[in-house]
Structure 1
Amino acid sequence: MMTNKGDYSFSTCWNIKKHPGDGRGMIEEIKSLGFQRVELNYNVTREMMESIEPMIERGEIGISSVHNTFPHDPDPDYGTDSVLLGFDDEVKRKRAIDLLVQSAEYAHRYGGKAVVVHPGEVPFDYNIDSELKKLWREGEGGGRSEAYRKLWNEMLERRTELSDTYLRKIQHSLEEVCDRIAQKGYDVAIGIETRSRCYQMPTLQEAKTVIDRMKGAPVYLWYDIGHGMMMERMGLYDNENEAKAMKDYVIGVHIHETIELSDHWCPYVHSKDMNYFDHFVEIIEKAPIKVYELKALCQPEEIEESHAILLSKIAALKG
């Protein structure tokens, strides 16, 4: 018997491929794990919502958050790995803003408190992150080869040179989004998410910069723990210490663990490391919205075990 997971939410990314077009079946399976709340991820279609909306209206399931772009938009220009709010092309940037406002509208309608958004990136003409991860995996002890360091420095030079330009574009777009959702009266936060590719934005410091510049606007950090672990291993930022310093900026967390550079595993259970993930327990405990974002390979009994360990760690933290 699965325990009631209380205020914890669960992302539909876990089982959406298992239920093509079947929104109700997807939600029922998540409910069977003991979750009363879900995060609707960016692959949920309008068709799936036809069977999910009645469940929301009847109180069979609660919505914690939605993940931009929602509902699913098949155009990769507005997908999860794009320049999005930082487009140089004004037509595309305006479209990205419209889509984020639409996501906020759905979150508001369903009682969700936040929209998770991947705000943008420093564009490269190829996926340099994929090449770096390949070199990292081939390097002794992860990423210390000469080839890795050389390519990393090339990436970092371009990223550093252009990051402020794109960060200002992203901020400008977020200001427009916030103005529009305020006009519409939506009580919804925008959570800018830490990312899984080294050229994507924001880093923790970039998120802090944007949020500080937008004081008073409903823009916060959506802290993806596994992505932060991955970026620390690759060398982009000091995840553990920078995240702790930003815990007051966090609106929501994606709870999952990264093993080497593979993410979306159950904390503690798959890594077999009973200590390292403790660094993030205080942030999870404090975060207003707590969402497990796990891959399909995670089994129900592993999810149950992982959650029980996390709760015991939080209890110990509280003393």
Structure 2
Amino acid sequence: MKNSVLLAPLTLALALVACTGPQAPQPPAGPTPAKASVNGYVVNADQSVNLNVSALDSQDTVLTSGTISDITVTDAALAQGQLGLQAAPAVTASKCGDITSVSGDFRAGILLDASGSMADNDPEKKRAEAAKLFIERLSGTAAAAVTSFSGYDATSPYTELTVHQDFTTDKGALKAAVDEAAVAGGGTPLWEATQELVQFVSTKTGNRVGVVLTDGAANGTDNLAPAIAAAKAAGMRLFMIGLGSPDDLDTADMQQAAQQTGGTYALANDAAALNTAFGGVFNATQGAGCIKLVVQPAPIAGQILSGKVNFKVNGAALSAPFSVQY
């Protein structure tokens, strides 16, 4: 009799489980984002693309972790440069990394192009406005430094890098330095200055990045490989921003620098787009995941792939536009 009494509740519990059927899958644990951004990209050797994506809450705080799922691409189109020839390619998307962040204090070295062409490509100094918005988002112990390159007035011991403000958390000092750096009147020693930026930033520890803006072709490419090697050896990511027409930029070299160091490349077609480019770089440095796109037929150099990537982070549906220059 006692055994029958003990078995009755167990039998009832099993019956209830059987009636409820399979349990619905639960969304991954973690904060719920409100929106997403595509921060930049790199083009791989096989012409696939890794989009760098972030998720943000309603206060524009970047999530430092999150699970990406349910990825699709809509409105995909290929354009052939300025010819505007459109095609609807077949694009498959997959996850190449959930959202993660780099530990340690954030240290960002901002490197602005001060070559003479900036007077034409950015006469209103939108690059200063964009860099200041980047600085304004720093918080806590996060610090930045402001530098430029023009081929003149380098700061010893450097030969191409001008340091306008050493690392500090003082946003007022950093913004004043940006105004000082946003000049035009020299050449484009891009890779020489980038290598020296790496030397400058790598004296710090933590989450170290270089944010490099240029509007033209470098004076030469002899220092491209050494700049990349120095950044890789230091564990420092390079985030490259090109301003203007892709025809005037060393797009492939800049993408190579970003791809090999774990950073991103972003193209700002005009000065007004710099806020978006710098905002994407900031998001990427705080927390980001990876979505891989494979396009058939494979795009060729000069083509631009655009569309919208849709995905979920911690179960919340998000979407963001993207544009990739091959």
TM-score bracket, shorter-length normalisation: 0.3 to 0.5
TM-score, normalised via structure 1 length: 0.34
**Higher-Rg member (1/2):** 2
TM-score, normalised via structure 2 length: 0.34
Structure having the larger proportion of residues in helix:
1
Structure having the larger proportion of residues in strand:
2
Greater relative contact order (Cα 8 A, min sep 6): structure 1 or 2?
Answer: 2
